[in-house]
Amino acid sequence: MKPAPFDYESPATLDEALALLDRPGACPLAGGQSLIPSLSTRRMRPDLLVDLRRIPNLRGIDADAHSLRIGPLVTFAEAAASSELRSACPLVVEAIRHVGSPAIRNRGTLAGNLVWADPASELPLVAVALRAVLTLRHRDGVREVEAADFFLGAFETAIRPGEIVISIRIPKGATGARAGFAEVSLRRNAPALAAVAVQIEAADGRVRAARIAAGSLQPTPMRLASVEAALEAAEPGTDLPALGALAAGQTIAGLAGQSTAGYAGTVLPALVGRAIASTLAAL
């Protein structure tokens, strides 16, 4: 099948892009790894495709004392190679290892992946776990949305017509923070059937801060706050991976009546335990 007819524009500035995106039926293009196949199947039928890739100030990773800001044209490969991300937000780099194939990581963007909001994608649950904030720009103004509020359902987000993501802000973890990511899929590079993301900061034998979220089990990522609290309250010497069992009841309660509930109840504790164990091994 061929794409439905559409117009194409490649603006050189953000203001030009925002003016074009304010037209009815306009759609932004960044990496295109999800959008282009959807054009071919006619799942997406935009009237106007606005290519953002010529706009220079949408690239790059910037840091301040408290957070990292990732531009909307930063690819998975560029993020994985960032020493700043590896040091301050290791969970992002760890999760990228599980994203698609090298070809997808070389072209796909983190912002595009978040906006696509596929429940089986790795980056949305990382964004929720790390309390990321997305800055959205419209020609009429700017607003910020926390990742936990950005994902509304499968392939559905809080982004409004005419808006684009202009940055992803992620709070820095403490020096020495470590991360683990575990997922189960039918084959290598296939969409995750269930996934868990963990980032831990520890000192003096105790967990000082834990960030944990699960994905692919329901339409939006789920932060496992009860597991975070259990790890942070645990005494030295506690079998921390075993606390993964606490995640099952919380998650299954949110999946009541869904066909995945039984499977989730079986696999989630094991994935949480595996991700925590790999994180602790790196501390």
Cβ–Cβ < 8 Å for 213, 224: yes
Read off the pLDDT of residues 167-216 as tens digits, 9 standing for 90 and up: 999 999 888 889 999 999 888 777 888 899 999 999 888 999 999 999 98
Round to whole Å and give the CA distance between 184 and 206.
Answer: 29
Q: Give the per-residue pLDDT at 282.
A: 84
pLDDT at 254 over 70: no
For domain 59-171, the question of CATH label 3.40.50.300 is answered with no
Model confidence at 256, pLDDT cuts 50, 70, 90, reads: low
Burial of 38 (0-12, 13-18, 19+ CB in 10 A): middle
CB-based contacts of 283: which residues, under 8 Å, 6+ apart? 176, 178, 200, 202
pLDDT at 59 over 90: yes
Q: Read off the DSSP letter of residue 224.
A: -
CATH class for the region spanning 178-282: alpha beta
| Residues 59-70, mean pLDDT to the nearest whole number | 94
Q: Give the per-residue pLDDT at 188.
A: 79
Model confidence at 261, pLDDT cuts 50, 70, 90, reads: low
Widest Cα–Cα separation across the chain: 63
Q: Give the per-residue pLDDT at 269.
A: 87
Task: Say what percent of the chain tops pLDDT 90.
Answer: 67
| Residues 114-135, mean pLDDT to the nearest whole number | 96
Q: Give the per-residue pLDDT at 262.
A: 60
Read off the pLDDT of residues 229-240 as tens digits, 9 standing for 90 and up: 999 999 898 889
Q: Give the per-residue pLDDT at 74.
A: 98
Task: Report CA dihedral (141, 117, 226, 276) to the nearest 10 degrees.
Answer: -120
Pick among 3.30.43, 1.10.10, 3.40.50, 3.30.60: CATH of 7-50: 3.30.43
Model confidence at 265, pLDDT cuts 50, 70, 90, reads: low
- Residue pointed to by tokens 């987000």: 157
Round to whole Å and give the CA distance between 214 and 182.
Answer: 10
The segment(s) of the chain belonging to CATH 3.30.465.10 are 59-171
Model confidence at 92, pLDDT cuts 50, 70, 90, reads: very high
pLDDT at 259 over 80: no
Distance of CA 121 to the CA centre of its chain: 7
**What is the overall mean pLDDT for the chain?**
90
pLDDT at 164 over 90: yes
The segment(s) of the chain belonging to CATH 3.30.390.50 are 178-282
Burial of 184 (0-12, 13-18, 19+ CB in 10 A): middle
Helix, strand or coil for residue 151? Answer: strand
The segment(s) of the chain belonging to CATH 3.30.43 are 7-50
Q: Give the per-residue pLDDT at 165.
A: 98
DSSP codes joined into one string, 19-79: HHHTSTTEEEESS-TTHHHHHHTTS---SEEEE-TT-GGG--EEE-SSEEEE-TT-BHHHH
Q: Give the per-residue pLDDT at 243.
A: 79
| Residues 4-32, mean pLDDT to the nearest whole number | 96
Find the range with the poorest average confidence among 30-44, 74-88, 249-263: 249-263
| Residues 15-44, mean pLDDT to the nearest whole number | 93
